[in-house]
Structure 1
Amino acid sequence: MTKLLIKNGRLVNPASNFDGIADILVEDGKIKEIAENITAEADKVIEAGGLVVAPGLVDVHVHFREPGQTHKEDIHTGALSAARGGFTTVVMMANTNPTISTVPVLEEVLASAAKEDINIKSVATITTNFDGKHLTDFPALLEAGAAGFSDDGIPLSDSAMVRSAMQEAVKYDTLISLHEEDPALTGVLGINDGEVSHKCGFTGAPTVSEYSMVARDAMIAYDTKARVHFQHMSAKESVEVIKFVKSLGANITSEVTPQHFSITEQEILTVGTNAKLNPPLRREEDRLAAIKGLQDGTIDVIATDHAPHTHEEKDQELTKAPSGMTGLETSLQLGLTHLVDEEYLTLSQLLEKMTLNPANLYGLDAGYLTEGGPADIVIFDDKKKVVIENDFASKANNTPFINQELTGKVMYTICDGNVVYEG
């Protein structure tokens, strides 16, 4: 194991509310010492003066497409993309082919993930092959290493099935994560039903398709006392619903993606299908509501929903192209640019949403820096301006942020005490 010394960095650790200059000594994959001035022999010394040293980022919502769709991404390229973005732990979604609905498929995925240099977890599906009707074997999948359960990509339309899933989650003390878009209320997926979709001549996905399901499932969560996480919130009313049901005492959490707090449906008119997402980019008032939710704690987590697609898949008519965008390599930069630089959040508050809170969601040993704890660390320049270029570690480049100038650059990503990315 490498002995690593990080000198003179600005240590920002939301778990302890520490923000100040400190050194970190890493040995045998753990943090051995944190102090003002450490003098020690080391195999590698990183001079971090002028840089931020923080817990490795945690993303609880990524699509690495393995098995079955590895022409878009695989676990190895997904891990490289994560490390380049400063992430040391990610949780994969289960909408692969086949879906992660059985123990053999889950074990195959986790065996592949174990070969990588970062920590990779996976959820299993709530219902078998996303059929919306039959629950998977929760105890067997948990025993095999499932981090939780989600049918992300496919909403659960049957409220009785949602209630059964939540009751099962309570029984086995696990987390249910939900994608909320009522298909009966939706036109063309991936485009907000509003000014832009009407200019394009079709009915899109209205905000009511999201917030009506959020309201239903938040109240079922309140009734069952289940731990329920609402994925990629995009509508102003969804944020208000979550705030209200939290005030009742429901054990619910929610996330927002960087794209949803950074840009709006107008981006469709300039970059086309690379701005087509499920749920869609919304209006400016929805973007600002998401930011307010981050400020007041209604929204707990920032997660990328990293969703790679090939150029050929995205290079189709707006109504035919798949929804989704890559996000791991621009997530921190979008947070710095649109939340910290614009003074909506402090740097520590941003990092809390990207480290401590997502780790706590799944009970992961991550998201904090302390002596004896895991040496999962990101070191970045929080002031440097960077123009996003088309040179990603991901297999895919379906992002609307190419050629945009953003703040921030990851300089080092360290996982289990090893440098896994150096910028």
Structure 2
Amino acid sequence: MTSVLIKNTQIVVADNDLMHQDVLVVDGVIKKVANNITETTDRVIDANGVLMTPGLVDVHVHFREPGFAYKETVATGSRAAARGGFTTVLAMPNLDPVPDTLANFQMIKANNDANSLVHLYQYAAISTDLTTEDVSDIKALTDAGAVGFTNDGKGVQTAATMLAAMKAAAKAQRPLVAHVEDNSLINGGVMNLGKRAEELNLPGMDPLGESSQLARDLVLAKATGVHYHVAHISTKESVELVRIAKAQGVNVTAEVSPHHLLLDETDITSDNAYFKMNPPLRTPADRTAVIAGLLDGTIDMVATDHAPHSLAEKEGSFIGAAFGITGIETSFQLLYTHLVKSGIATLAQLLDWMVIQPQQAFGLTGATAIKVGQPADLALFDIGHTHKITADEFASKGVNTPFIGATIYGQTLLTMIDGQIVYEA
């Protein structure tokens, strides 16, 4: 039997209301939550009044292995997740080989299971190589453990392919996760189409590329009854489409990334590829719309879209640089600082978006509260002191984030999975 007693922590009881408690963990499960627990344990940790939450859940990460281990590995990515306070993550399939066959999926899952510090679930591809019209064997991949199906990084270009995939995913009772992007409207763009792209003399990506394909998919989702999940929603039109679809009873959920909540195209003041991401940073009106959509429940959750790249791939101009931004080590911290501290949202809402909603939508079984009987997937955050983000502190191989140099609250102090400490500052 292993036991840990965490003394003097604070847990969220409602909105921003915190309650001082001790938490006793025995054999990976929360056994007692009370004041002044005095039982003898293998280890006692004095939390000094910092915040304890259930472990965070991220339904959209890129751990790059196999195929791109120079960017990230399962080991470095999961260590970064733990450092961010995450205990469960869902990994995207844009790998080499792509998990579009049973053999590829089983190999990738075995590597995940052997090397991840955190609970790691793997998506399989909607179609062969993420780009063809040949729908994967969704039943076989579901039976092998696929948490859902997505061609993330690529939009599914034909309605027939998407319809066939939705029918199969609905039958398998797995979510279909869409990167919505109509290639015919991208036109070689590297940032959002509009005034700022013109000012920087950079080619723009038409935001209709997102919303037009989303509209198609929502009609198909209504017809099939599939659980359809929208990845990294970024435009006001897309938010409105999801709002209408939910009102019509479509089984749709949506996520938004921290960078689309906190930044917009006006933050891009020079040709700096650390701001290059897909979908791109949109207009201030779009940013206002995704915040409003998150607050009113149109958007269900926050997902980081953690996308590490090498330094060489993010150097220089938007032209030629890779799309993507790291985020799993900074997302709770940035959102706590800019949404909760500023009064836009409550701490309870932030945990709903980063713990409860992701688990409910994807049928996961991790901790959703600091309560007796819950698995001891926990994180401790210092919300009382500031911390400056620096490039040399990341556990991830990727440092490609425009948030380096930002001052935040909520630095992770400890992360525990099934009662085992996997990160300690």
Structure 1 residues 367 and 296 mapped into 2: Cα distance closer, same or farther (>3 Å)? farther
Structure 1 counterpart of 2:44, one-letter code: V
Indicate the SS of the match to 1:241.
Answer: helix
Q: Which residue of 1 aligns with 2:49?
A: 50
Q: Which residue of 1 aligns with 2:110?
A: 111
Q: Which residue of 1 aligns with 2:38?
A: 39
Measure the CA separation in 1 of the matches of 2:230 and 2:287. Answer: 17
Q: Is the 8 Å Cα contact of residues 261 and 338 (structure 1) preserved in structure 2?
A: no
Q: Which residue of 1 aligns with 2:74?
A: 75
User: Over residues 12-55 of structure 1, what are the superposed CA-to-partner deviations in whole Å (9 max), with x where a residue is unaligned?
Assistant: 278x9995222211111111122233221111222224211110
Measure the CA separation in 2 of the matches of 1:101 and 1:18. Answer: 46
Structure 2 counterpart of 1:74, one-letter code: T
Q: Which residue of 1 aligns with 2:9?
A: 9
User: Over residues 318-352 of structure 1, what are the superposed CA-to-partner deviations in whole Å (9 max), with x where a residue is unaligned?
Assistant: 12111001101110111112211121110010011
Measure the CA separation in 2 of the matches of 1:165 and 1:117. Answer: 32
Measure the CA separation in 2 of the matches of 1:12 and 1:168. Answer: 40
Indicate the SS of the match to 1:4.
Answer: strand
Q: Which residue of 1 aligns with 2:381?
A: 380
Structure 1 counterpart of 2:47, one-letter code: A
Structure 2 counterpart of 1:344, one-letter code: I
Measure the CA separation in 2 of the matches of 1:271 and 1:420. Answer: 38
Alignment of 1:267-306 (within 5 A): 267-270=267-270, 272-306=272-306
1:265 CA drift (Å): 1.4
Q: Is the 8 Å Cα contact of residues 13 and 368 (structure 1) preserved in structure 2?
A: no
Q: Is the 8 Å Cα contact of residues 232 and 255 (structure 1) preserved in structure 2?
A: yes
Please identify, of 211-220 and 227-236, the stretch whose mean Cα deviation from structure 2 is larger: 211-220
Alignment of 1:115-134 (within 5 A): 115=114, 116-134=116-134
User: Over residues 157-208 of structure 1, what are the superposed CA-to-partner deviations in whole Å (9 max), with x where a residue is unaligned?
Assistant: 1012111111111111110000011111112344111122111224311221
Measure the CA separation in 2 of the matches of 1:351 and 1:382. Answer: 14
Q: Which residue of 2 aligns with 1:163?
A: 163
Q: Is the 8 Å Cα contact of residues 13 and 55 (structure 1) preserved in structure 2?
A: no
Indicate the SS of the match to 1:309.
Answer: coil
Indicate the SS of the match to 1:83.
Answer: helix
Q: Is the 8 Å Cα contact of residues 148 and 175 (structure 1) preserved in structure 2?
A: yes
- What do you get for the CA RMSD once the two structures are aligned? 1.7
Indicate the SS of the match to 2:106.
Answer: helix
Alignment of 1:237-256 (within 5 A): 237-256=237-256
Measure the CA separation in 2 of the matches of 1:199 and 1:8. Answer: 53
Q: Percent identity?
A: 42
Measure the CA separation in 2 of the matches of 1:270 and 1:45. Answer: 50
1:270 CA drift (Å): 4.5
- Give unmatched runs, 5+ long, in structure 2: none
Q: TM-score, normalised by structure 2?
A: 0.96
Q: Which residue of 1 aligns with 2:422?
A: 420
Q: Is the 8 Å Cα contact of residues 356 and 366 (structure 1) preserved in structure 2?
A: no
Q: Is the 8 Å Cα contact of residues 192 and 206 (structure 1) preserved in structure 2?
A: yes
Indicate the SS of the match to 1:114.
Answer: helix
Q: Is the 8 Å Cα contact of residues 132 and 158 (structure 1) preserved in structure 2?
A: no
Structure 1 residues 13 and 85 mapped into 2: Cα distance closer, same or farther (>3 Å)? farther
Q: Which residue of 2 aligns with 1:86?
A: 85
Structure 1 residues 271 and 398 mapped into 2: Cα distance closer, same or farther (>3 Å)? farther
Measure the CA separation in 1 of the matches of 2:53 and 2:212. Answer: 38
